[in-house]
Amino acid sequence: MNPVRAERVGLTATEYRRVCELLGREPGDVELDLFGVMWSEHCSYKTSRPLLRLFPTSGPGVLQGPGENAGIVDIGDDLAVVMKVESHNHPSAVEPYQGAATGSGGIIRDIFTMGARPVAMLDSLRFGDLEDVHQRALFREVVKGIGDYDNCMGIPTVAGEVGFDPSYAGNCLVNAMCVGIIRHEDIKRGAAAGVGNAVMLVGSTTGRDGMGGASFASVDLTAASQERKSAVQVGDPFMEKLLLEACLELFRTDAVVGIQDLGAAGLTSASCETAARGGVGIDLDVELVPRREDGMSAVEVMISESQERMLVIVRQGHEDEVRRIFDKWGLNAAVIGHVTEDGMLTVRQDGEVVAQVPAKALAEQAPLRHPQAERPTWQDDVMRLDETELPAVSDWKVVLKDVLRMPTVASKEWVYRQYDSVVRTSTVVGPGSDAAVLRVDGTTCGIALTIDGAGPMSLLDPATGAAMAVAEAARNLVCSGARPLALTDCLNFGNPERPDVFWQFSQAVAGMSKACRALGIPVIGGNVSFYNETGTLAILPTPVVGMVGVMDDPGRACRQGFVAPGDSIVLLGECTDELGGSVYVHMVTGRTAGHVPVLDLERECLVQTVCQGAVSRGIIRSAHDVSEGGLAVTLAESCITGDIGAHISLPGGVRPDALLFGEAPSRIVVSVAPEDLCALLEMARNAGVPATLLGCVGGSDVILEVGGRSIVQAPVTELADAWRGALPGVMGR
Residue 102: strand, helix, or coil = helix
Dmax over Cα atoms in the chain, in whole Å?
85
Per the CB < 8 A criterion, the answer to whether 647 and 568 are in contact is no
Applying CB under 8 A, among 419, 493, 503, 531 the residue interacting with other proteins is 419
Binding-residue total with other proteins (CB under 8 A): 32
Per the CB < 8 A criterion, the answer to whether 236 and 204 are in contact is yes
Applying CB under 8 A, among 5, 17, 49, 424 the residue interacting with other proteins is 424
Residue 506: strand, helix, or coil = helix
Applying CB under 8 A, among 213, 554, 561, 594 the residue interacting with other proteins is 554
| 134 labelled catalytic | no
Answer yes or no whether residue 555 interacts with other proteins by CB under 8 A: yes
Choice between 245 and 600, CB closer to other proteins: 245
Applying CB under 8 A, among 83, 114, 142, 239 the residue interacting with other proteins is 239
Applying CB under 8 A, among 36, 103, 118, 237 the residue interacting with other proteins is 237
Choice between 202 and 508, CB closer to other proteins: 202
* Closest to 730 measured CA to CA, from 136, 128, 6: 136
Answer yes or no whether residue 148 interacts with other proteins by CB under 8 A: yes
CA distance linking residue 290 with residue 202, whole number of Å: 9
How remote is the C-alpha of 703 from its chain's centroid?
37
Applying CB under 8 A, among 188, 189, 348, 439 the residue interacting with other proteins is 439
CA distance linking residue 576 with residue 699, whole number of Å: 28
Answer yes or no whether residue 141 interacts with other proteins by CB under 8 A: no
Contact range with other proteins by CB under 8 A, out of 4-12, 30-38, 234-242, 319-327: 234-242
Binding mask 324-363 for other proteins (x = CB under 8 A): -----xx---------------------------------
Binding mask 300-329 for other proteins (x = CB under 8 A): -----------------------------x
Catalytic residue among 88, 90, 338, 647, which? 88
| 586 labelled catalytic | no
Applying CB under 8 A, among 428, 477, 712, 726 the residue interacting with other proteins is 428
Kindly state the smallest distance separating residue 89's Cβ from other proteins, in Å: 24
Residue 98: strand, helix, or coil = helix
Answer yes or no whether residue 137 interacts with other proteins by CB under 8 A: no
Contact range with other proteins by CB under 8 A, out of 426-434, 519-527, 633-641, 711-719: 426-434
Applying CB under 8 A, among 154, 194, 371, 715 the residue interacting with other proteins is 154
Choice between 107 and 515, CB closer to other proteins: 107
CA distance linking residue 507 with residue 221, whole number of Å: 24
Kindly state the smallest distance separating residue 559's Cβ from other proteins, in Å: 11
Applying CB under 8 A, among 416, 493, 584, 661 the residue interacting with other proteins is 416
Choice between 419 and 502, CB closer to other proteins: 419
Answer yes or no whether residue 182 interacts with other proteins by CB under 8 A: no
Contact range with other proteins by CB under 8 A, out of 42-50, 231-239, 579-587, 708-716: 231-239
Kindly state the smallest distance separating residue 245's Cβ from other proteins, in Å: 8
| String of DSSP letters for 450-503 | EEEE-HHHHHH-HHHHHHHHHHHHHHHHHHHTPEEEEEEEEEE-S-TTSHHHHH
| Neighbouring C-alpha atoms within 13 Å toward the C-beta of 605 | 11
Choice between 154 and 367, CB closer to other proteins: 154
Residue 731: CB atoms within 10 Å: 15
Answer yes or no whether residue 205 interacts with other proteins by CB under 8 A: no
CA distance linking residue 407 with residue 403, whole number of Å: 9
Choice between 20 and 422, CB closer to other proteins: 422
Answer yes or no whether residue 427 interacts with other proteins by CB under 8 A: yes
* Closest to 529 measured CA to CA, from 67, 125, 90: 90
CA distance linking residue 99 with residue 102, whole number of Å: 5
- Binders in 81-120 for other proteins, by CB under 8 A: none
Residue 448 β-bridge partners: 437, 549
- Note the residue count of the chain: 733
Q: What share of the chain is helix, strand, coil (3-state, %, to 5)?
A: 40, 25, 35
- Non-local CB neighbours of 335 within 8 Å, separated by 6+ positions: 198, 199, 200, 288, 314, 319
- Non-local CB neighbours of 55 within 8 Å, separated by 6+ positions: 66, 509, 512, 513, 516, 522, 523
Residues at the contact surface with other proteins, assessed by CB under 8 A: 144, 147-148, 151-154, 236-239, 241-242, 329-330, 416-428, 439, 554-555, 733
Catalytic residues: 42, 88
